[in-house]
Structure 1
């Protein structure tokens, strides 16, 4: 089965969605520094993540989860992107903390392991 992943933002709430080939949401995950870093740099781990957000009714479709920031195929190729939302998100999640999205995650002050 071909999967893809989407970073979506709804107000101040960010989510990572794992999408089925049919376009239906398979998993919905609360975005955090670690899974966003993986989504941007190590796609293979993203698809192993179990969702922590309920998916029912209209939430089976991606649109109610908010505006699309970036979608990537299982192989890592970019499917779609909103450049303004992407760089705004990179600033909020990484650069405002003195690191970049491709810096080792252990250098991020919000990383907890």
Structure 2
């Protein structure tokens, strides 16, 4: 397991541009899905699917990345049931979301 070097909290959104980072991460997922499956999906559709799924989990504890994974899987299942596609979408998301923050 990798050693954690830093944990940061930006509750007042003054350290990095969360929305910009998230949108770029979702754009990376959209590009990945189009290349790997032919699924054409927009950042807005990815946002909406995740938000819709979160409503079905109200009142239950759920890891936010698990919810994100479930939202990606719901698009992938329309064309494929290959687990590696979902894993690839999560990798594309995480590479941007956690490693390419847009600092203020």
Which structure has the highest strand share of the two? 1
- Structure number with greater Rg is 2
Return the TM-score normalized by structure 1: 0.27
Which structure has the highest helix share of the two? 2
Which of the pair has the greater relative contact order for Cα pairs under 8 Å at 6+ separation?
Answer: 2
Return the TM-score normalized by structure 2: 0.28
